[in-house]
Structure 1
């Protein structure tokens, strides 16, 4: 795969995170607690459970992303970003447009049974704001040199650019799942 413009990639990822924030604030934040906690009609996760699952990923990845960014400040920066073959595989797997398969969440990322729905939504909003700040900081560092361990296999490291794309595609996937739980689908 050819390298892509780092600026264009970061702009696209920022736009997606902004959209996730807007959707969460305008739709999910204003729902009654019982609707946030109501299991999906097919027996799947509730809206709050989807967001709690995403929060567990944020709890894992955001500190590692911030640490990686901190270690790279002042080092050479490239203007292009190139995904690894493994990074592309993980991104395609999670992207709702290309990853049609369902996956079971590992135990570390299963949402707890007793959720405080409003706290879960607020934490998701906080994490998305933090992710936006990280994306903005990435303009001044290398997305190719920083390696982040995956939450599934800690010995497996992906490039920061791949981790960001994977994380945001994963968020998109589960926000779509949460939106399907709404009684009357709402467009943003």
Structure 2
């Protein structure tokens, strides 16, 4: 796949995530947003706060990478490293295997407000801006540190794909939580 195709697909996916959060979660009452489907499950707010924490980490690195990337005159094939393929497989929404999250990225037991939702949407706007700005950038440079071990680096294109797939995974988790909210809590 070439860079323009990847970026276009990711933009479409981010816009779909924005639509889902805006239409399904933004108008919910506090009780529905905080509802946990089971003792170890995350609420809608926890799912989105988890994504906000990842966005706070990855978006500044993506911004620096795009700004510093050499300009390309035409789209190039996107290459994936072993680490990139493994990372993408790990967060792929189709991968139903549960994974432990890092403690500082785990929103469980956090005091969260509905402000988590507009913050998530702001991160999506920033991500869309960066995907557009990356149109002429070399996405095959290893520039983005991996959150859990910063000496490892993802290629810029891999990191964009990782962020979007990870968001899709947890927005779907939030949708599953919403489906289990008792009828009386949903307005």
Superposition deviation, residue 92 in structure 1: 1.1
The range that moved more, 13-22 or 79-88, is: 79-88
Structure 2 residue 170 is the aligned partner of structure 1 residue 160: no
Following TM superposition, the consecutive aligned residue runs of length 4 or more in structure 1 with deviations greater than 6 angstroms are none
Query: What are the ranges of 5 or more consecutive residues in structure 1 without an aligned counterpart?
Result: none
Deviations 1:25-59 (A, max 9, x none): 11111110111011123530100000000000000
Q: TM-score, normalised by structure 1?
A: 0.90
Q: How many residues align?
A: 181
Query: What are the ranges of 5 or more consecutive residues in structure 2 without an aligned counterpart?
Result: 182-187
The residue correspondences of 1:101-140 to structure 2 (distance < 5 A) are 101-111=97-107, 113-140=109-136
C-alpha separation between the residues in 1 aligned to 2:178 and 2:139? Answer: 37
Structure 2 residue 162 is the aligned partner of structure 1 residue 172: no
Superposition deviation, residue 83 in structure 1: 1.0
The range that moved more, 109-118 or 44-53, is: 109-118
Superposition deviation, residue 130 in structure 1: 0.5
Structure 2 residue 44 is the aligned partner of structure 1 residue 38: no
- 2:76 aligns with 79
Q: TM-score, normalised by structure 2?
A: 0.90
Deviations 1:80-138 (A, max 9, x none): 211112201110111012x2211111012011534333110110000011101111111
